[in-house]
Chains A and B, each alone.
Chain A
Amino acid sequence: MNYILETENLCKVYGKKKALDNVSIHVGEGDVYGLIGKNGAGKTTLMKIVGGLSNATSGTYTFMGRKAGEIGDVITNRGLLIEDPGVLENETGYENLVIKEISLGIKDKNEAMHLLEMVGLKDAARTHVKKYSFGMRQRLGLALAFVGNPGFVILDEPINGFDPQGINSVRELIKEKRRNGTTFLISSHILGELSKIATKYGFINEGKLLEESTEQELIEKCKSRIELVAEDTPKAVTILEAIGFRDYKVMENGMINIYEQVERTGDITNALAKEGIATIEIVRRYEELEDYYMKLVGENEANNQAAMLSNENSGIVNAGDRRTESK
């Protein structure tokens, strides 16, 4: 796999606070990599480092096959929008783009207008940014990230401040750019925001990368299913076959997991009853991506507390409990 960006045990320490703790992410060429984490998880910190705005305390990263610090000319191949957009208030939207174009040595005179059109700011091109609304600034920040048509674009919570229609247009923009070969690293604290566009996810919590999985793997993990426990498992299976279920799996403990037509729980119990087989238990499990993520974070935090508890010997055992309560 060709990674456009690969980080190796990145750590960032602010004073005593470990904002990033050995984070290694892998962003493949053409990916839309969704970085998911609560506020304060370390998303911005990570993006600042790989965007060249901040130095890692330890660890390194490789961008387009080159180590940090030896990136050279491909440096102009990344665009970023980190936190709130940095825009010059006393300049027009157009001028904001032109200044970045000059900085990158871009000669194309039409690019600025084209970018403004792309983000829906064409009519406000000659308006001073101080008269822009919050959403318009966000759009301008987005346009700035795309100056010079970079192959790799970092967007830190880009959907913040958009109305539903705006969110949709941002999604469309990302999809279109991706079709043209742009790779994205996008962060969000809401998984659902990215679930329609991301191809790979990195879950981050308290500075640690909890898990990295492709969209496919995630769907696999969150697949909805029926869990069935019946009196006579082999018989139950034949009945299931008879009423048209093919995608199921018999677990070691005799539970049957059914991965298709999850709405037909009623049919199943009826069919089993007709054949005189008692249904001991039948539940429909459906895991939302969001739940999955919450579970991941929960496990991580539980582990942390367990670790803390085992570290803190007898005297202050209660500290851990109190922490649990305050959560």
Chain B
Amino acid sequence: MKNIIKAEFHKIFHSIFFYAMPLGLLATLIISVLASNEHSATRIPNQNFIQILSETLDFMVIVIVCAGIFLTYLWGKERKNGYIKNIAGNVKGRHILTLSKLITGSAVVAMYSFFMLIFNTLFKLCYALINGGKFSFIPIGLTDTDRIAQMSPEALKSLEESKEVAYSTLRMSSFAFLAWILGGIAVAAMLLMFFELFRSPVLGYILSIQLLPMLAEGLIEQAVYLVTKFEKTGEYMIVKGLMKMKTLPDAMYGNAAEMNEFYPNSIGGTIIMLCVYITVFSLAAVFISKRKDV
């Protein structure tokens, strides 16, 4: 299995498409940041990592889409040219091939996510430098030591509070970032399952552009509501769950109390839910691949 994974990575790193996708991510990032700058009246040149991390969450859908398209392309190509025939006879079970795909696919999702974070950070760093602003880890006011020394006790207290908010935001955003990676892996596992089932990349392309999951989830949600009158089905679904997650850190900037309503139930719950999805989809993919011919 170790060797199969190695070979799988070798193929990934040899594919031009693997590198083309992050360029797409970068382009998306630049365009959307420039566009939003056009709209904002005041430009704040100062940048901090905590905010960048939470802003990166806005781009995670596109990360998953890119990873999904790339993986569908990679798997579909191998099925089409039949290279898998050379390998499948030399593994102890065909599920090993499927598991290796899941592992390398997850790695691709994680890599793309971190690419996005790094791009965003570098981009904002350049932005700060060009506009004469400062770049820091936490919001700039909180690190201004000269001013802190002259502060009144009340001001210091509120500063402490904002620090707490900043660090909770960091914690939240990190969890949310992780949840998005897990969400991406869940989507990859789902793609793999359908891929093993239908042996065709077509559905994968449709699925990976997120049209069907949302559509399907919407349908399931409505159906469940019709039958059980249970309104919160959406919270147990991948895309909807993640979408809610994306807006969480924004709410964080409001106040800490609001944050506590969301945390840890929402993020913890979503992460557990995503892990369940990953497990179910992977097991289904393995089950199918063991029974189907190459």
Contacts and interface: CB of A to CB of B under 8 A. Distances in A.
Interface of A: 48, 51-55, 71-72, 75-76, 78-80, 82-91, 95-96, 98-100, 102-105, 144-145, 147-148, 154
Interface in B1-51: 2-4, 6-7, 10-11, 14-16
A72 B294 contact: no
Nearest to A105: B3
Contacts of A54: 293-294
B85 A71 contact: no
Contacts of A105: 2-3
B13 to A, nearest CB: 11
B82 A103 contact: no
A264 to B, nearest CB: 53
Interface of B: 2-4, 6-7, 10-11, 14-16, 77-78, 81-92, 94, 291, 293-294
Nearest to B16: A90
B82 A86 contact: yes
B85 A53 contact: yes
A102 B81 contact: no
Given A75-B90, A103-B87, A53 B82 contact: no
A203 B84 CA distance: 29
Chain A CB count within 10 A is highest, among B14, B87, B89, for B89
Contact of A52 (B2, B16, B88): B88
Contacts of A103: 3-4, 6-7, 87, 90
B90 A76 contact: yes
B89 A80 contact: yes
Contact of A89 (B3, B81, B291): B81
B153 to A, nearest CB: 65
B85 A55 contact: no
Chain B interface mostly: helix
A102 B83 contact: no
B3 A86 contact: no
Given A95-B14, A102-B7, A87 B83 contact: yes
A189 B60 CA distance: 55
Contacts of B85: 53, 80, 82, 86
A78 B87 CA distance: 10
A51 B293 CA distance: 11
B92 A87 contact: no
Contact of A53 (B4, B10, B15, B293): B293
B291 A55 contact: yes
Nearest to A70: B92
Contact of B84 (A71, A75, A79, A86): A86
Nearest to B293: A54
8 nearest A-B pairs in the assembled complex, by CB-CB distance: A86-B82, A54-B293, A53-B294, A103-B7, A102-B7, A105-B3, A52-B89, A86-B85
A105 B10 CA distance: 13
A147 B7 CA distance: 14
Given A48-B293, A86-B81, A86-B83, A99 B89 contact: no
